[in-house]
Amino acid sequence: MRILIIEDEARIARRIERMTNDFFEGNATISIIDSLKKGIEFLEKEKINILLLDLNLNGRDGFEVLSTMTSRSFQTIVVSANTENALRAFELGVLDFVPKPFDRERLFLALNRAVTLKKESNNSIRYLSVRKTGSIKLIDLDQMGYIQGAGIYSEIHLLDGSKELHDKGLDTLEKILPSGFERIHKSYIINIVQADRILVSSGSRYNLQLKNGEVLPIGRSRYKGFKQQFEKHFE
């Protein structure tokens, strides 16, 4: 597990480092950087799994780079004093927001979210940020039809028929997407608003027809759970 801490308060950075180390029982490589600029330079070269980020660094408002962070493959956990910014951070797709001052339990909770597969609904997220040559594009969740896994990336299929590539894999995305985005297959997450009907064919093969006519497969193990969600949604 590779972890980066961006925090300009030495004492706090060391506290986060110590606790994270405890959490991973020494099985993590942790780097500490005290400025956003150096952090971004670091991320150009190194691959990480989790970023622990202080939003207000050296007098700078970290929001200008937050969407750059959330568009990447790693999960971002914000550790900040300005709790009023929490909602804005969630909208941009951070995994968790740990308010200062924090104790061991609270930080562990956040790290737990990052490593377990269990989906927790983050209903505040409104956009997915996508890296496009040199810039960041924010995609409104309402504009998304479904997401298809593509190796370590994901392919987002938008309602207008276009596609965007996201650096996060389906497993990681699933954790930050709100309820209403359902995993129906190991390679598909759909926006339940766009689901039309479930098609059952011979040999217990299940498919989902979307409102635009496209048909996606439903995984056998996920069928039961999804059917419940589907019926609940259309009640």
From the list 31-39, 110-118, 141-149, 178-186, the region that binds other proteins by CB under 8 A is 31-39
- Detail the DSSP E strand segments found in the chain: 2-6, 29-33, 50-53, 56-57, 60-61, 75-80, 96-99, 127-132, 135-140, 144-150, 153-158, 163-166, 181-185, 188-191, 195-201, 205-210, 215-218
149-188: contacts with other proteins (CB under 8 A):
none
Q: How far is the CB of 83 from other proteins (least distance, A)?
A: 7
Q: Least CB distance from residue 61 to other proteins, whole Å?
A: 8
Q: If phi over 0 gives left and psi between -120 and 50 gives alpha, with beta otherwise, what is residue 216?
A: beta
Least Å from the CB of residue 79 to other proteins: 9
Interaction of residue 109 with other proteins, rule CB under 8 A: no
Q: Where are the beta strands (DSSP E) in 151-204?
A: 153-158, 163-166, 181-185, 188-191, 195-201
Among the listed residues 40, 44, 50, the one whose alpha carbon sits nearest the alpha carbon of residue 17: 50
- The greatest distance separating any two alpha carbons of the chain, rounded to the nearest whole angstrom, comes to 63
| The binder of other proteins chosen from 29, 37, 41, 165 (CB under 8 A) | 37
Q: Select the residue interacting with other proteins from 25, 26, 27, 59 (CB under 8 A).
A: 59
Q: How far is the CB of 106 from other proteins (least distance, A)?
A: 11
Contact 36, 44 (CB under 8 A): no
Compute the least distance from the CB of residue 37 to other proteins, in Å.
5
| Residue 12 within binding range of other proteins, rule CB under 8 A | yes
Cβ(174)–Cβ(180) below 8 Å: no
Considering only 10-18, 65-73, 168-176, 224-232, which stretch makes contact with other proteins by CB under 8 A?
Answer: 10-18
Please give the order of strands across the beta sheet that includes 181-185.
163-166, 153-158, 144-150, 188-191, 181-185
Quick check: 34 binds other proteins (CB under 8 A)? yes
Site string for other proteins, 66-105 (x = CB under 8 A): ---------------xxxx--------------xxxxx--
**Under rule CB under 8 A, residue 31 binds other proteins:** no
Q: Is 41 in the site for other proteins (CB under 8 A)?
A: no
Residue 143 buriedness (CB in 10 A; 0-12 / 13-18 / 19+): middle
Smallest distance, Å, CB 97 to other proteins? 13
Chain positions contacting other proteins, by CB under 8 A: 8-12, 14-15, 34-35, 37, 56, 58-60, 81-84, 99-103
